[in-house]
Amino acid sequence: MEIEAIYKGHIYPDKELDRAEGEAIETLKKSSQEPIPDPDRWLEEEVERNVLLTSIDSILSWARRNSLWPVICFPACCAFEFIAANASRFDLSRFGMEILRASPRQADLMITAGTLTWKMAPQVKRIYEQMPEPKWVIAMGACGISGGIFRSSYNVVPGYNRIIPVDVYVPGCPPRPEALIHGIRMLQYKISKRKNF
Ligand code: SF4
């Protein structure tokens, strides 16, 4: 008898159980007056906020101008200013172009950082020709533009534009990294105006 009494003391009587269940249902009813919003509704809102209409031409130019990959072409002292432009103080990677390509097939920009001799000219021309289209050239420094102080020398090419087309000229001997970055920005502007089709 005693054990039965103890056992009963820990079990809800049927009436109490019904009441507890009823209370739980009523509470749920009160808090369920409105349908729960569609959990995917945010997705539609996000899409609406993030849809951007543009032309293929603009998006291609935008991608190209912000992901220029320069081929390595450093025949002389201007190279150090180019290297400085790549280092942390000037940080060329801000423009999406920190990757210097050793292979011309994966590059679309040639920055001519140094004096070019006629002996080197065929190799530089070949590297340019191996770069896929579209491609661009920045003539960096007085030597890149016109041969600079070596212009009258028998062995110096008086400007890269004698052997390849140049898009932007950056003067100086050597140009500072800021000047090179300005030239790159000018090239980016030129690319943004380019018609792709
Ligand atoms: S422009 Fe001046 S710094 Fe640049 S490669 Fe010529 S001599 Fe050297």
Of 59, 65, 53, which is closest to residue 197 (Cα–Cα)?
Answer: 59
Strand runs (DSSP E) across 72-133, as ranges?
A: 109-113
pLDDT in tens, 90-147: 888 888 887 888 888 889 999 998 899 999 999 999 999 999 989 999 999 999 999 8
Instruction: Look at residue 3 in the predicted model and tell me its pLDDT.
Output: 56
pLDDT in tens, 15-33: 888 898 999 999 999 989 8
User: Are the C-beta atoms of 186 and 138 separated by less than 8 Å?
Assistant: no
Residue 188 CB contacts under 8 Å (≥ 6 apart), including other chains: 65, 66, 68, 95
Pick the atom of ligand 1 nearest to 173's CA: 2
Instruction: Look at residue 187 in the predicted model and tell me its pLDDT.
Output: 93
Q: Residue 1 above 70 pLDDT? A: no
If you measure from the C-alpha of residue 8 to the centroid of ligand 1, how many angstroms do you get, rounded to a whole number?
100
Count of alpha carbons within 13 Å of 176, Cβ hemisphere only? 5
pLDDT in tens, 45-93: 667 677 778 888 888 889 888 989 999 888 889 999 999 998 889 888 8
Candidates 81, 116, 143: which one to mutate for ligand 1, based on the most atoms within 8 Å of Cβ? 143
Candidates 81, 112, 115: which one to mutate for ligand 1, based on the most atoms within 8 Å of Cβ? 115
Q: Residue 8 above 70 pLDDT? A: no
